[in-house]
């Protein structure tokens, strides 16, 4: 397309990210104790107080050792940031100039040239401030003062005659346990501490800011609404909000680049603009569109749309959006089990396979594109197709969603409410949240990856099931009704309305877990489910097999990360379970997280020999336990249509439920996930003396396959070996047998016997599942005679592992040497050899010296 007319004054944007300084406000009550921090120091924008203090050597690394208690003063203090900038004559001459802050954390006063322009009160909003008439040609001073959210809110909370429930009380005395402030602040909840991360109540200009100037015309919004999309046609409309200085006729044109980069003219028309804000739309139709699919179901086709408007006076504006064309539905059909909960994309019911994502750092401004890519590519590489962005953090960056679009990862997006109860009865609070929601839904709605907007995390179930509602009703029944009515207004009405208006057809769900405010909140037969009887309730791992929800959106087991990650924050003298540094990085304090880990390790695997063995066994327990649950969920299709374990990643180095640690290293669970989330999988699940075998397929066509069932002695003697041809039904779990222990063992010793179920397609193995007849600690396992051979092979290293006898839960590690193994957390059958690729910049001798193999040993029982 040849655009009509040339622009005389298109909008201009300039980043204001240089020359910043910060200090602790000199009049703050803690200034005397931290005099050096009260001097001006260089600052980074985007950034945060904690990272600026660290960069200037004013505090120790918040992640190394156990410094957390000594850094709580930062969250109680007032902080000042300033910079100076010049403005050219062209900018000064334009009719409109605005400062745009994409993120201020949180209570912030903005001053320009001594004039106060804004008092911000929401970390999740974008703030646009007119500054024409305030700018000068030289030496513009921009100053931002950040007030402590704790000190700002605490008097109000303490004055309440009856309190609403908070989430995690501070263990450091910076706010009383009965007057928590986090749920009154529109700030990332995890900054106040969680059971997997530290309490660092930070502040700062945490997202980019810029100076925008323009004359004549500006496009505020471009939304490609997808009215109907199928294989034959995509019926779209380009919806725009246009700012105009004056009444005029203009020409509006729409073009798009198809997924191959070919430019196609889509629409063109004359529009009449009034002064101020104008809304208009143009219909766009695409024949035989290339649709966007989740990973595993088709291509991630992406189109780029561009809108350009040219006024009669030659002024012009342009805006672009990249999106994928797809239909999305949350299907809730009634059936014999209750009411379903299934995502349907382009008419295909998708079994959601994935995990819950938390922030990648306590200080989000330092998360890099490389970190985002590493974590999300790891999710895709583990055959995931959905990520749940949990509600206690922040709305992720555009870069996060761009990657999700490209990788085919559906995103369940919570609004940022992570726990406790919100003051939804406060009209001003709700108005602030509504503005936040519009900002974020409009910013993100063009991403085809977004599959759901969810009101909050665990607030309905906390009120109904954890005793919060009952307790407050007993204390103050009228106030309790007011609190619940406010909750229903905010999450049942306000956010639902905004998603319906702005979300482009993406469904809304009021809370997780819930049945969308209809009856029980955490019901296995309706809605989504969080199941924490295993872990939080200390129930045995086998209880996963008794819980069959419609959609499992949270379940999990803890494990420590690799020893290399632990050594990043702990000294050799700290490497024991009860060491203060280790305890500081174990945030599950309800009954002591390490003791809970020991409970599960001892129940299944025996007593750890030492700290490194404790770490290894925690990882084995986590991987095997989550595999049991996930395969059960998949085998229960179509009753269950999703399995999202808690959690994908870490916010800092420490013990947690993650499968990828803070540095991006895969725990054994993530290697297991790649296998149990494979498109084709054999789910052989032993429960109460019987093994049910289901063949799971996410393919849209039937699959001809071969099922092999072997029963072996741990030394390799074969008791049973049978083959049969099977057909896996599409998008289904196909029954393939139900065996009593006696049928499989045929008199063999259960302590020395394993059943092996293997699925192959065209002779190539695609899935294997081993079934044991005793707990790991009770097995009579011989020395497997495991041998490792490492050699250079075509620019990489080739590692061959061979086992003479059964080698269960083999883990290959290289200490502090940087090396990535193509597969890990493996079980080798007697006589089996596996070949792995190793990527490393280290030499072969260094790799051989640092390599260590672990496996389950009989002495651990």
Q: pLDDT of 236-291, one tens digit each?
A: 999 999 999 999 999 999 999 999 999 998 899 999 999 999 999 999 999 999 99
Please say whether the structural domain 787-860 has been given the CATH code 3.40.710.10: no
Examine the pLDDT at 643 and tell me if it is beyond 70. yes
* Cα distance between residue 687 and residue 685, in whole Å: 6
* Cα distance between residue 699 and residue 525, in whole Å: 26
User: How sure is the predictor about 860, in pLDDT bands with cuts at 50, 70 and 90?
Assistant: very low
* Cα distance between residue 653 and residue 655, in whole Å: 7
Between β-strands 316-323 and 263-273, what pairing exists: parallel, antiparallel or unpaired?
A: unpaired
Q: Which of 171-180, 224-233, 846-855 has the lowest mean pLDDT?
A: 171-180
For the chain, the average pLDDT equals 96
pLDDT number for residue 730: 98
User: How sure is the predictor about 521, in pLDDT bands with cuts at 50, 70 and 90?
Assistant: very high
What is the rounded average pLDDT of the residues 706-734?
Answer: 97
Q: Please state, in angstroms and as integers, the Cα–Cα distance from residue 228 to each residue in 323, 327, 580, following that order.
A: 15, 7, 58
Is residue 271 within 8 A of residue 249, CB to CB? The reply is yes
pLDDT number for residue 313: 85
Tokens representing 683? 């789910």
* Cα distance between residue 678 and residue 146, in whole Å: 48
What is the rounded average pLDDT of the residues 496-507?
Answer: 97
Q: Name beta bridge partners: 311.
A: 250
Q: pLDDT of 22-33, one tens digit each?
A: 999 999 999 999
| pLDDT > 70: percent of the chain | 99
Examine the pLDDT at 16 and tell me if it is beyond 60. yes
User: How sure is the predictor about 8, in pLDDT bands with cuts at 50, 70 and 90?
Assistant: very low
pLDDT number for residue 439: 97
DSSP assignments along 796-814, one per residue: EEEEEEE-SS-EEEEEEE-
Q: Name beta bridge partners: 236.
A: 226, 284
| pLDDT > 90: percent of the chain | 96
Tokens representing 651? 């916010």
Residue indicated by tokens 């992640």:
63
Closest to 358 (Cα-Cα) out of 416, 405, 409: 416
What is the rounded average pLDDT of the residues 133-144?
Answer: 97
Angle between helices 427-444 and 495-502 (to 10 degrees): 30
What CATH architecture is 12-210?
Sandwich (2.60)
What is the rounded average pLDDT of the residues 632-661?
Answer: 98
Tokens representing 224? 């490609």
Is residue 351 within 8 A of residue 641, CB to CB? The reply is yes
Q: pLDDT of 649-668, one tens digit each?
A: 999 999 999 999 999 999 99
**CA triple 692-694-697, angle to 5 deg:** 170
Examine the pLDDT at 5 and tell me if it is beyond 60. no
Q: Name beta bridge partners: 365.
A: none
Is residue 353 within 8 A of residue 633, CB to CB? The reply is no
At 457, give phi and psi (nearest 5°).
Answer: -105, 115
Q: What is the pTM for the complete model shown?
A: 0.96
* Cα distance between residue 43 and residue 605, in whole Å: 50
First to last CA, the chain: 73
How many other CB atoms sit within 10 Å of the CB of residue 244? 22
The yes-or-no answer to whether 216-323 and 787-860 have a common fold is: yes
Is residue 257 within 8 A of residue 213, CB to CB? The reply is no
Tokens representing 769? 């599942």
Examine the pLDDT at 2 and tell me if it is beyond 50. no
Closest to 528 (Cα-Cα) out of 518, 539, 542: 518
Between β-strands 386-389 and 352-357, what pairing exists: parallel, antiparallel or unpaired?
A: parallel
pLDDT number for residue 496: 98
What is the rounded average pLDDT of the residues 360-377?
Answer: 97
Q: pLDDT of 533-591, one tens digit each?
A: 999 999 999 999 999 999 999 999 999 999 999 999 999 999 999 999 999 999 997 77
What H or E segment, with its residue span, contains residue 189?
none
pLDDT number for residue 565: 98
The domain 216-323: what is its CATH number?
Answer: 2.60.40.10
Q: How is domain 680-778 classified at the CATH fold level?
A: Immunoglobulin-like (2.60.40)
How many other CB atoms sit within 10 Å of the CB of residue 336? 5
Examine the pLDDT at 6 and tell me if it is beyond 70. no
Question: How many residues are there in the chain?
Answer: 861
DSSP assignments along 140-174, one per residue: EEEEEEEE-HHHHHHHHHHT-SSPPP-SS--SSSS
pLDDT number for residue 9: 47
Closest to 412 (Cα-Cα) out of 385, 382, 430, 379: 385
pLDDT number for residue 472: 97
Examine the pLDDT at 300 and tell me if it is beyond 60. yes
Closest to 809 (Cα-Cα) out of 779, 789, 849: 779
What is the rounded average pLDDT of the residues 136-145?
Answer: 98
What are the residue ranges spanned by the domains of the chain?
A: 12-210, 216-323, 352-559+625-676, 680-778, 787-860
Q: How is domain 352-559+625-676 classified at the CATH fold level?
A: TIM Barrel (3.20.20)
* Cα distance between residue 459 and residue 506, in whole Å: 22
Residue indicated by tokens 């240089």:
18
């Amino acid at each position: 397309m040849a655009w009509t007319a040339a622009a005389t004054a298109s909008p201009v944007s300039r980043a204001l990210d240089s020359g910043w300084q910060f200090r602790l406000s000199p009049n703050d009550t803690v200034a005397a104790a931290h005099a050096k921090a009260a001097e001006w120091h260089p600052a980074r924008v985007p950034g945060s107080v904690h990272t600026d203090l660290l960069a200037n050597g004013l505090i120790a690394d918040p992640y190394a050792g156990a410094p957390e208690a000594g850094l709580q003063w930062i969250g109680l203090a007032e902080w000042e940031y300033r910079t100076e900038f010049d403005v050219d004559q062209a900018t000064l001459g334009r009719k409109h100039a605005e400062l745009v802050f994409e993120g201020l954390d949180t209570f912030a006063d903005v001053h320009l040239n001594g004039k106060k322009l804004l008092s911000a009160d929401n970390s999740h909003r974008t703030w646009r401030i007119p500054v024409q008439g305030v700018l000068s040609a030289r030496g513009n001073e921009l100053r931002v003062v950040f007030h402590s959210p704790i000190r700002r809110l605490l008097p109000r909370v303490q004055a309440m005659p009856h309190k609403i429930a908070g989430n995690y009380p501070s263990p450091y005395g910076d706010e009383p346990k009965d007057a928590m402030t986090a749920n009154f602040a529109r700030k990332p909840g995890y900054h106040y501490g969680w059971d997997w991360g530290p309490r660092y109540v930070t502040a700062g200009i945490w997202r980019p800011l810029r100076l925008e100037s323009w004359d004549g015309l500006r496009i505020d919004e471009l939304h490609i609404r997808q009215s109907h999309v199928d294989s034959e046609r995509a019926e779209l409309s380009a919806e725009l909000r246009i700012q105009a200085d004056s009444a005029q006729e203009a020409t509006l044109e729409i073009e798009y680049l198809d997924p191959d980069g070919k430019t196609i003219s889509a629409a063109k028309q004359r529009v009449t603009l009034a002064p101020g804000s104008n809304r208009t739309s143009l219909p766009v139709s695409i024949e035989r569109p290339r649709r966007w699919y989740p990973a595993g179901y088709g291509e991630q086709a992406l189109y780029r749309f561009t809108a350009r408007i040219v006024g009669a006076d030659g002024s012009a504006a342009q805006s672009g959006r990249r999106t994928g064309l797809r239909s999305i539905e949350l299907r809730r059909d009634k059936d014999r089990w209750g009411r379903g909960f299934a995502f349907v994309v382009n008419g295909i019911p998708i079994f959601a396979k994935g995990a819950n994502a938390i922030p990648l750092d306590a200080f989000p401004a330092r998360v890099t594109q490389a970190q985002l890519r590493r974590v999300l590519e790891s999710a895709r590489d583990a055959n995931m197709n959905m990520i749940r962005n949990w509600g206690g953090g922040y709305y992720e960056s555009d870069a996060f969603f761009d990657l999700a679009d490209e990788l085919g990862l559906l995103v369940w997006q919570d609004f940022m409410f992570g726990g406790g109860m919100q003051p939804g009865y406060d009209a001003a609070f709700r108005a602030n949240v509504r503005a936040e929601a519009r900002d974020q839904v409009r910013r993100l709605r063009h991403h085809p990856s977004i599959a759901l907007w969810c009101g909050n995390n665990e607030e309905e179930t906390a009120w109904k099931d954890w005793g919060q509602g009952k307790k407050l009703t007993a204390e103050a029944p009228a106030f309790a009704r007011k609190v619940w009515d406010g909750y229903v207004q905010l999450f049942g009405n306000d956010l639902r309305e905004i998603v319906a208006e702005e979300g482009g057809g993406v469904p809304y769900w009021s809370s997780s877990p819930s049945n969308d405010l209809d009856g029980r909140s955490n019901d296995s037969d309706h809605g989504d489910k969080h199941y924490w009887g295993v872990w939080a309730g200390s129930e045995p791992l086998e209880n996963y097999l008794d819980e069959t929800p419609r959609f499992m959106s949270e379940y999990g087991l803890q494990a420590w990360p690799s020893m290399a990650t632990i050594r990043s924050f702990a000294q050799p003298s700290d490497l024991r379970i009860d060491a203060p540094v280790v305890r500081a990085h174990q945030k599950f304090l309800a009954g002591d997280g390490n003791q809970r880990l020991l409970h599960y390790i001892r129940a299944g695997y025996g007593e750890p020999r030492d700290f490194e063995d404790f770490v290894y066994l925690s990882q084995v327990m986590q991987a095997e336990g989550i595999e049991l649950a996930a395969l059960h969920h998949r085998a229960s299709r179509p009753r269950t249509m999703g399995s999202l374990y808690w959690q994908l990643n870490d916010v800092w180095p420490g013990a947690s439920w993650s499968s990828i640690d803070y540095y991006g290293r895969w725990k054994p669970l993530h290697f297991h996930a790649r296998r149990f989330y494979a498109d084709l999988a054999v789910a052989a699940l032993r429960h109460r003396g019987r093994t049910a075998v289901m063949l799971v397929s996410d393919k849209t066509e039937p699959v001809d396959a071969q099922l092999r069932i072997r029963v072996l002695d741990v030394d390799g003697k074969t008791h049973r070996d049978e083959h049969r041809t099977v057909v896996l039904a599409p998008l289904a779990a196909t029954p393939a047998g139900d065996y009593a222990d006696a049928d499989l063992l045929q008199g063999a010793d259960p302590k020395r016997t394993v059943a092996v179920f293997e699925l192959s397609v065209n002779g190539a193995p695609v899935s294997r599942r081993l079934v044991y007849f005793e707990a790991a600690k009770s097995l009579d396992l011989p020395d497997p005679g495991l041998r490792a051979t490492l050699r250079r092979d075509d620019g990489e290293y080739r590692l061959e592992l061979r086992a003479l006898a059964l080698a269960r839960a083999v883990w290959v590690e290289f200490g502090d040497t940087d090396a990535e193994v193509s597969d890990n957390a493996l079980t080798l059958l007697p006589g089996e050899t596996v070949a792995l690729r190793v990527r490393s910049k280290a030499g072969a001798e260094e790799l051989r010296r640092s390599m260590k193999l672990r496996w389950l040993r009989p002495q651990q029982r």
